[in-house]
Amino acid sequence: MLRDITIGQYYPADSFVHKLDPRFKILAVLAYIIAAFFVKTYIGLFVLLAFLTVAVAASRIPLKVLLRGLKAIYVLLGITFVFNALLSGGQTEYFRLWIFRLTREGLVRAVFMALRLIMLITGASLLTLTTAPIALTDGMERLLSPFAKLHFPAHEVAMMMTIALRFIPTLMEEADRIMKAQSARGASFDEGGLIKRAKSVIPLLVPLFVSAFRRAEELAMAMEVRCYHGGEGRTRLHVLRFTRRDAIGLAAFALLIAAVAFDSAYISVHMPYLLGI
């Protein structure tokens, strides 16, 4: 289960999405996440799903890789769906049990929220799967560079964020190994009540934190002996440039934003029967 987390991993491929400017991809993912929260109708949701499907197809990333990343949020998806379905309320009621009511409106809202969560996770995974760590760092640093005039440490913050993102799959693999080693020694993580399960996680967290600190110290020493320094005066092998490929991506994303804005401003007002929330 822990190995199924794809956020932070990089999948090398020669695709249109891989070759896009990392600055554009970062801003596009942020805008896509915001748009997913503004969409209110079935039409807007379909447009977002269609755009994400085209982006996944253009990235040439196997579908099983993206689906594997969703395994880690199955529980969260289930909880989100059940809570929205039983606690949202509505007019068309199917059944009632104490404070829980299953309604048509609640089911529609539950489907909307579940699909939103899937789109958010898939979009974030697509960013890290198609962008190399060094390119992601450069992109974040360039986007944060205007704040450098305010003495904001743009390079240091970008580097820390990228390293933290890259450490997610590494720590997940380490946690998986520790769990298997302790299970072979008779430890159990799935039995007993909630308190017992919480206590059983403590022997997992201690070696995991020790391993994380050791890896961080080794990385810091490796960067120090190589005389690494960032920010002012640092040269780059690959200079970021906005190309025709990025212009095509920008035009496509502008159409998506326009469609979402039209959905929120016009369709949701004049066609209320298409509302999903």
Distances (CA, A) of 34 to 16, 27, 109, 173, 228: 24, 11, 18, 31, 36
pTM value is 0.74
Domain boundaries, the chain: 1-131+242-277, 155-237
Place of tokens 């554009």: 24
12-15 LR contacts (CB < 8 Å, sep 24+): 12/132, 13/59, 13/60, 13/61, 13/130, 14/60, 15/58, 15/59, 15/60, 15/61, 15/130
* Residue closest to 121 by CA, chosen among 51, 66, 44, 49: 66
Residues 32 and 48: their CA atoms lie apart, in Å, by: 8
* Residue closest to 167 by CA, chosen among 128, 201, 200: 128
Q: CB–CB of 23/29 below 8 Å?
A: no
Residues 118 and 122: their CA atoms lie apart, in Å, by: 6
CA atoms within 13 A on the CB side of 64: 0
Q: What is the pLDDT along the chain (277 residues), one digit of tens a residue?
A: 555 566 667 888 888 888 898 889 999 998 888 888 888 777 888 888 899 999 999 888 888 888 777 776 777 788 888 887 777 766 777 777 777 777 777 788 888 888 888 888 888 888 888 888 778 878 887 888 787 777 777 777 777 877 777 777 778 778 888 888 877 777 676 666 667 766 777 777 788 888 888 888 888 888 888 877 766 666 666 777 888 888 998 898 888 888 888 877 766 666 665 555 5
b/e map 2-26, b = 16+ CB within 10 Å: bebbbbbbbbeeeeebbebbbbbbb
